[in-house]
Amino acid sequence: MSRICKQRHVSTCLLLTICAVLVAQLSGCASAVQSDKPERTVWLSSLNLEKMTSGWGSPQKDKSIQNKPLTIAGRTYEKGVGTHAASLMYVDLKKSCRSFSAYVGVDDEVNGKIGSVRFRIYGDGKLLFNSGVLKAGEPAKKVDIDLTGCKTLTLAVDPAGDNNSYDHANWADAAFVVAGDDPVAIDAPVFEEEKVILTPKPGPEPRINGPKVYGCRPGRPFIYRIPCTGRRPFRFSAENLPPTLKLDTTTGIITGTAPAKLGEYPVALKAASRHGSSQRTFKIVVGDTLALTPPMGWNSWYIHYNRVTEQHMRNAADAMIASGMADAGYMYVNIDDCWMKKRGDEPYRDAGKAVLPNNKFPDMKGMVDYIHSKGLRAGTYISPGPWTCAGYVGSYQHEQIDAGKFAEWGIDFLKYDWCSYGQVYKERMKQTNDDLLEKKRPYRQMGDILKQLDRDILLNLCQYGMSDVWQWGGEVGGHCWRTTGDLGLAGGADLSGFYHIAFSNAQHWQYAKPGQWNDPDYILIGWVGNARGMGEGKPTSLTPNEQYSYMSMWCLMAAPLIFSGDMDKLDEFTLNVLCNAEVIEIDQDPLGKQAPIIAQTDEYFIMAKDMEDGSKAVGLFNTTEIAINISVSWNDLGIEGSRRIRDLWRQKNLGTYKNRFEMKVPRHGVAFIRIFPTGSAE
Ligand code: GLA
């Protein structure tokens, strides 16, 4: 710029300077590049491709991900990079890159399959290019972006369909125009955020939490520990408690059998101490619907995998009480896979043909009794197929006997995981050729068995969303059903995997209702293992703001809240994410609505959930790399007039707003608010 300035009038110089700044701003980057070196082309494929991540296989130089010529909609490209969503690469532009160009699309090698992807390019954190959804067979999109002044470029490819199958993504003919040092592929930056604890610590006074309504079947065993924060000891009381139930006034644990007569039993729960008292109506509904609110608890999978032992389960129950999680409403302590005998380790079954636990579970009944003695509930896992996903014994052809054994042990929750049932399904299809019938068959069978048992056992369908399970999961006796593949295996390029699982799960919002919940899988925060290879636990790689977003989304989606990190390593930050009573109240609302996504752009999305009291819970989620303002209008929410707004993470009133609400939201973070009519009690 200075060289040109010497030759021209000052005002022209000023104009040129402003223009240069504007160009730099429009391209999303900082300042103009200066170099006298001649321009040349540097191919993307000449960079170190080991720095590019890929959802499957490894990125290929000048070839597709399957090592074939790069081809998009019939056109072949000599140069470029073939990768697979989700894929991410960071490039240090050495401040010498003028522009970047490419043709992007899905490689023809997927041959009519369902691949669909979205390419995004960021310059210094700002979005410079978005391809929109590109499907297999569609022509390539041309990329041509100015990089003047840019320091770092991010090349991201994300799955744009339900999952990442056949997402073979090409950066074809991709090249930089460079005048200076060559660009260099670099490691992904680590986003260090301060772990700000937003949830205020509960005071010493009692506060009763947990669901306001609770479903059970007549005459079945009943156990409920009143979740209550504050400084113990408390004196609990329960007015109008049905006479078949008994309350321990010190622990707050209600036990007995559910009333024989169908109907609603509103019980006035109270907890008192020298610090104050708390009251809440707890409606027991005796009927045939269980899980009137989404189940809450912990599952062993993502921390103990095949290492799980009976002692882990007992410790988890202890930790659920000691950490305060049970006081926030968590109650199920669930073993996942690997508690039975492994394939080859016979005998698999006892004399009565019931499935045998392996030697890490010497006393299953004693373990369940222990969990119950704390007022908590016990869950287990098995497959309808001959083997579980990890190769342990399944229930195939022993369903009735195994379910009877679970009830004998006192099990309250069963995760029923498809796994090797695929073999059985294939055989059955030869006879009926009816996909839906055969997909439903094992679940209907177990659903029917559980209904006949003298015990309330929740049924969690785990078959990864096949054949639109949300449409029929309830009909076959399921209380919740996984809508996607395993969250622990889900990848994301510019966003972590849980966002993609959430986008997929959110589509089925209209199917959620009391007793029937969409399940987007567990809450994987705190110390948590890597699902690939059943890795040992380590601190989550999610940033603090991502964790707030994760928990907010799960609550808005009325998802089962099942934590699956290490119960022995619960730190203050993780507990603040898991145990905010006002956040959990959104999940546990008796109306049982799941929030749809009511607005979505390339920078943010908004979820809104109707609450029983007429208020609305709203999440404003920032999906960009920088803090942005996000606003929601009353029009979008179908409301009018003055509204009182509460920040749920901070448990703080934000004041009264008319027509719209706007807030600055951090990178990948959330503003999670509840909007009440003015005049409603604070
Ligand atoms: C499947 C399920 C997981 C877990 C494992 C256990 O992958 O989806 O949640 O239960 O099996 O093997």
Interatomic CA distance for residues 146 and 128, integer angstroms: 9
* Probe target for ligand 1 pocket from 298, 300, 301, 339, with the most ligand atoms within 8 Å of CB: 301
pLDDT bin (cut points 50, 70, 90) of residue 1 is very low
Return the residue whose CA atom lies nearest to atom 6 of ligand 1: 337
Summarised one tens digit per residue, pLDDT across range 60-114 is 999 999 999 999 999 999 999 999 998 999 999 999 999 999 999 999 999 877 7
- Contact between residue 239 and residue 268 where contact means Cβ atoms under 8 Å apart: yes
In this predicted structure, the answer to whether residue 493 has a pLDDT above a threshold of 90 is: no
| pLDDT given for residue 26 in this prediction | 39
- Contact between residue 549 and residue 669 where contact means Cβ atoms under 8 Å apart: yes
Interatomic CA distance for residues 194 and 665, integer angstroms: 15
- Contact between residue 400 and residue 355 where contact means Cβ atoms under 8 Å apart: no
Residue 315, number of CB atoms within 10 A of its CB: 16
Average pLDDT, the chain: 93
| pLDDT given for residue 5 in this prediction | 32
Residue 610, number of CB atoms within 10 A of its CB: 17
Mean pLDDT of 335-359: 98
Q: 486 CB less than 6 Å from ligand 1?
A: yes
Catalytic residue among 124, 327, 412, 417: 417
Task: Name the token pair of 347.
Answer: 């005998």
Interatomic CA distance for residues 564 and 526, integer angstroms: 9
Catalytic residue among 167, 486, 566, 587: 486
Mean pLDDT of 440-446: 98
Distances (CA, A) of 306 to 152, 360, 525, 536: 42, 10, 20, 11
- Closest by CA to 395, choosing from 356, 363, 437, 451, is 356
Write the CB contacts of 497 (distance below 8 Å, at least 6 apart in sequence): 86, 487, 489, 490, 491
Summarised one tens digit per residue, pLDDT across range 29-38 is 755 555 667 8
* Probe target for ligand 1 pocket from 389, 416, 466, with the most ligand atoms within 8 Å of CB: 389
Residue 366, number of CB atoms within 10 A of its CB: 12
pLDDT bin (cut points 50, 70, 90) of residue 210 is very high
**C-alpha torsion sign, points 189, 620, 565, 318:** positive
Distance 563 CA to ligand 1 centre (A): 14
Task: Name the token pair of 401.
Answer: 């006997």
Q: Which atom of ligand 1 is nearest to the CA of 521?
A: 9
Of 50 and 490, the structure prediction assigns the larger pLDDT to: 50
Q: Which atom of ligand 1 is nearest to the CA of 464?
A: 8
| pLDDT given for residue 165 in this prediction | 79
In this predicted structure, the answer to whether residue 311 has a pLDDT above a threshold of 90 is: yes
167 is catalytic: no
Distance 299 CA to ligand 1 centre (A): 11
**CA-based radius of gyration for the chain:** 28
Distance 125 CA to ligand 1 centre (A): 35
pLDDT bin (cut points 50, 70, 90) of residue 126 is confident
Summarised one tens digit per residue, pLDDT across range 643-663 is 999 999 999 999 999 999 999
Distance 583 CA to ligand 1 centre (A): 27
| pLDDT given for residue 162 in this prediction | 60
pLDDT bin (cut points 50, 70, 90) of residue 681 is low
Q: 417 CB less than 6 Å from ligand 1?
A: yes
Relative to beta strand 660-665, strand 628-633 is antiparallel
Return the residue whose CA atom lies nearest to atom 3 of ligand 1: 486
Peptide bond into 677 cis (omega under 30): no
| pLDDT given for residue 34 in this prediction | 55
| pLDDT given for residue 36 in this prediction | 67
Mean pLDDT of 206-227: 98
Distance 486 CA to ligand 1 centre (A): 7
Return the residue whose CA atom lies nearest to atom 9 of ligand 1: 486
**Residue 256, phi-psi category: left (phi > 0), alpha (psi -120 to 50), beta (remainder):** left
Q: 389 CB less than 6 Å from ligand 1?
A: yes
- Contact between residue 318 and residue 345 where contact means Cβ atoms under 8 Å apart: no
Q: 241 CB less than 6 Å from ligand 1?
A: no
Summarised one tens digit per residue, pLDDT across range 382-440 is 999 999 999 999 999 999 999 999 999 999 999 999 999 999 999 999 999 999 999 99
In this predicted structure, the answer to whether residue 174 has a pLDDT above a threshold of 90 is: yes
| pLDDT given for residue 10 in this prediction | 33
| pLDDT given for residue 625 in this prediction | 85
Of 491 and 75, the structure prediction assigns the larger pLDDT to: 75
Helix (H, G, I), strand (E, B) or coil at 414: strand
The whole-angstrom distance between residue 512's C-alpha and the CA centroid of its chain comes to 16
Q: 303 CB less than 6 Å from ligand 1?
A: no
Per-position DSSP letters for 212-269, written without gaps between them: SEEEE-TTSEEEEEPPEESSSP-EEEEET--TTEEE-TTT-EEEEE--SS-EEEEEEE
| pLDDT given for residue 599 in this prediction | 97
In this predicted structure, the answer to whether residue 17 has a pLDDT above a threshold of 80 is: no
Distance 336 CA to ligand 1 centre (A): 8
Distance 382 CA to ligand 1 centre (A): 10
Q: For residue 155, what is the enclosing H or E element?
A: strand 152-159
Summarised one tens digit per residue, pLDDT across range 569-617 is 999 999 999 999 999 999 999 999 999 999 999 899 999 999 999 999 9
448 is catalytic: no
Q: 336 CB less than 6 Å from ligand 1?
A: yes
3-state secondary structure 57-89: CCCEECCCCCCCCEEECCEEECCEEEEECCEEE
Interatomic CA distance for residues 63 and 273, integer angstroms: 70
Helix (H, G, I), strand (E, B) or coil at 152: strand
Interatomic CA distance for residues 340 and 381, integer angstroms: 10
- Closest by CA to 174, choosing from 283, 279, 45, 288, is 45
